[in-house]
Structure 1
Amino acid sequence: MDTPILSDIRVLDNLLAVNLNITLWSARKKLTLEDFGHVDLPPEDLATLGSKRIAPPESLRIFGTLKARAFNFLDRHGIRFLGGWAIPEDKATDIIQELCALRDEFAAQKEAFLAEYDALIQAWIAKHADWANLIANSTVGSDYVRARLGFSWQLYKVAPLMAHPDAETMVESGLYEEVEGLAGTLFTEIAKFADETWRKVYAGKTEVTHKALSPLRTMYHKLMGLTFVEPHVAPVTEILQMALSRLPKKGTIVGTDLLMLQGLVCLLRDPDALIEHSQQVIEGYGPATVLDSILRAPMAPTFAEHGPVEITGLLDVDEGDDPELAEITDPTARPCPGPRVQIPSMGLW
């Protein structure tokens, strides 16, 4: 990010830190020479043995899914910070309630898995009868598995030790650098989210449904909860809110409205351009000026054919199967204008 943008240490007054601990059992054991009997194998400095599955991988897939959902949820509401996430203190209750729901689902799936564990192992051995001894000699009891499947978190307040007798040492501890980087991290996360949104939802489209607004609303709510992080955040929420308010309440989104959304997503993909235009809002030009300028920015006119793709990652679009969000075009077919969004100033700056 070329534009210097830093958060003040006082931002910690409005933040809580979440450290998420989700442990999964891989159901794998290391292969050993004994597994193959008396055979010649390459020396260990040349090659090493891999691993063997001692339980069906599909029976454990749900735990990885729940872990991904927890990470994506915190990414939608917080900022990566100190190995976890910084979340708005005034949103903590709602965030923790959602984590509780995910933890309870994890616990229920864990008990269901452990109840069938012995039968699953026997079925896995039977499925691979030629290698039954290789599996049976490596199985572990259900108590072992229980201890390795876990879902927990710690919620805590971070504060600088300003009153510490060695205050200079505290300043050098790295906390200040972590806090100063929060704003940059936030805009970078938004840019990555916008890039994913562009590729999976907007690139090359001549029309979209209202489901395509879901990722924009996700970005809006994330930024709204974190406006205190840095002065340029609030103007971005104003730009998003203005864009959403301009759209028809129903029907497909086409023409000028779609071009505005595509230009807005392109702007969100570029942290430096976004901050520059956020500054114009701070200086009084208004979010409407930015949106009107987007429509005057040149964009390539070519479009590509659609092809199916699975929506993953941060996009919060699990509101039913919508073919609009199950399609993607070649992301180079209708690119954002230039390597950076160049919105004309119209003589304002």
Structure 2
Amino acid sequence: MKTQAILDKMILVVLNITLWQGRKALKQGDLALNGIDIDKLPPGTLASLGSKRIISPAAVKIFVSLKREALKHCVLSGVRFGGCGYAVPREKVEALGKELKRIKVEFEDAKKQFLSVYHEEVERWVAANPPEWAHIIRASVDSPAHIEKAITFNFAALDIRPPEETDMDGLDTEIDSLYGQLCHEVRVSARHTYENYLVGKQEITHKTLRPIRLIREKLAGLLFLDPLIADTIQVIDDTLTKLPADTNIKGTDLNMVAGLVGRQLANMGRPSASSQTEVSDSDLEEIIVIPEVVIVPETGVVAPISWDF
């Protein structure tokens, strides 16, 4: 019953993006052609030769950037589900779809532009490297037709409905894991926010609160996964409403924000020693001590945290 209730409130968004990095395996023959004694190389069980580039990384970085942007929108809207997609609240699917369509158009335009100058990019890369490697680079060049198939951007929205008669009960397990996955994603985002926007700061602007608000929005959309999410949303709201509206945030207010991010959000879903009344030996390893977040008295800046995850 719980599984179906959650499925009724979510859509599975599958993102399928493949990239061509302009790399090829570096073979022993490539080294032999350049006068390197391959007999002196370590055995394959000890080390691998790695790869060689046949084009500049700058020429294909646009595709990496667009993939990263698409993933960001999926992460902000939903939670990773089943290793193949994202569980997205039904009310957010339309907005997410618009963003993914926009990114796909940019992706296809960039692909068309790249293919039109592909051979020029290869020759530019050849000219930028030692001449003795020119024939090795050219011999490894893929055809434009191969690259066109290798660089792809696609996505789909699926309404999941389990078959009525089946012995496979894995869907229940996947659904049960969604809350834990959500907590993990919030913890990662909170740690990134703490380390990149709070540590070492004496004061912050309200713009710095945007990552916290994005976490709140994500949690609000996925509230149907577990009632405990409401408690975290309340903690965020209680903290944000106490902050000054028209001035920068510093002193005790900054320490309060740092505590929200570094204590509550960075440890969401993890049992703490302070929340345990009776602890068994088997549970001991799962319990964490929530770090203290403090403003350094001498400087008034937020102190770093030694993370245990």
TM-score by length of 1: 0.73
Match of 1:231 in 2: 227
Choose which of 186, 189, 192 in structure 1 pairs with 2:182: 186
Counterparts of 1:207 and 1:109, CA distance in 2: 41
CA contact (8 A) 1:204 1:304 kept: no
Q: Name which of 20, 27, 30 aligns with 1:25.
A: 20
- Of 194, 217, 221, the match for 1:221: 217
Instruction: Quote the sequence identity (%).
Output: 33
Name the CA shift for 1:143/1:231 in 2 (closer, same or farther; >3 Å): same
Shift of 1:271: 2.0
How does 1:287-326 map onto structure 2 within 5 Å? 299-302=293-296
1:187-202 correspondence to structure 2 within 5 Å: 187-202=183-198
Cα distance in 2 for partners of 1:196, 1:257 equals: 20
TM-score scaled to structure 2, two decimals? 0.82
Q: Give the Cα separation in 1 of the matches to 2:215 and 2:17.
A: 25
Match of 1:41? 38
1:105 paired to 2:101:
no
Q: Which piece of structure 1 moves more, 236-245 or 214-223?
A: 236-245
Number of the residue aligned with 2:199? 203
Does the CA contact (< 8 Å) of 1:304 and 1:329 recur in 2?
no
User: Per the alignment, do residues 186 and 241 of structure 1 end up closer, same or farther by CA in structure 2, a change over 3 Å counting?
Assistant: same
Describe how 1:18-167 pairs up with structure 2 within 5 A.
Answer: 18-35=13-30, 36-37=32-33, 40-42=37-39, 44-45=44-45, 47-83=47-83, 84-128=85-129, 129-161=131-163, 163-164=164-165, 166=166
Any conservation in 2 of the 1:183–1:230 contact (CA below 8 Å)?
yes
Give SS of 1:160's match: coil
List runs of 5+ in structure 2 lacking aligned partners.
Answer: 275-290
Aligned partners of 2:118 and 2:144 also within 8 Å: yes
> Letter of the aligned partner of 2:69 in structure 1?
R
Q: CA deviation at 1:179?
A: 0.3
In structure 1, the residue matched to 2:283 is none
CA contact (8 A) 1:208 1:254 kept: yes
Structure 1 pair 14–134 and aligned structure 2 pair: CA distance change class (3 A):
same
AA aligned opposite 1:149: I
Q: Secondary structure at the match of 1:269?
A: helix
Structure 1 residues 3-58: Cα deviation after superposition (integer angstroms, max 9, x where no partner): xxxx6442111111111111111211223343333764145455543322111111
Alpha-carbon offset, residue 329 of structure 1: 7.0
State the Cα deviation string for residues 69-123 of structure 1 (Å, max 9, x = none): 2112211111110112110011100011111111111111111111111111112
Contact 1:30 1:52 in 2 (8 A): yes
1:188 CA drift (Å): 2.0
Query: CA–CA distance in 2 between the matches of 1:14 and 1:274?
Result: 28
Structure 1: gaps (5+ residues): 1-6, 278-296, 307-327, 340-349
| Superposed CA offset, 1:124-150 (max 9, x none) | 222222321111111122222111111
Cα RMSD, aligned residues only = 3.0
CA contact (8 A) 1:160 1:170 kept: no
Residue 202 of structure 1 contacts residue 262 of structure 1 at CA under 8 Å; is this kept in 2? yes
1:248 to 244, 247, 250: 244
Q: Are 2:271 and 1:269 equivalent residues in the alignment?
A: no
Shift of 1:230: 1.1
Superposed CA deviations along residues 151-206 of structure 1, whole A, max 9, x for unmatched, are: 10121112233x31x4xx133xx110110111121122112211111111123433
Q: How many residues align?
A: 284
In structure 2, distance between residues paired with 1:102 and 1:304: 47
Q: CA deviation at 1:236?
A: 2.1
Cα offset, 1:304, TM superposition: 9.0
Where 2:168 maps in the other structure, the secondary structure is helix
Counterpart of 1:170 in structure 2 is 168
Q: Structure 1 pair 305/30, CA: closer, same or farther in 2 (3 Å)?
A: farther
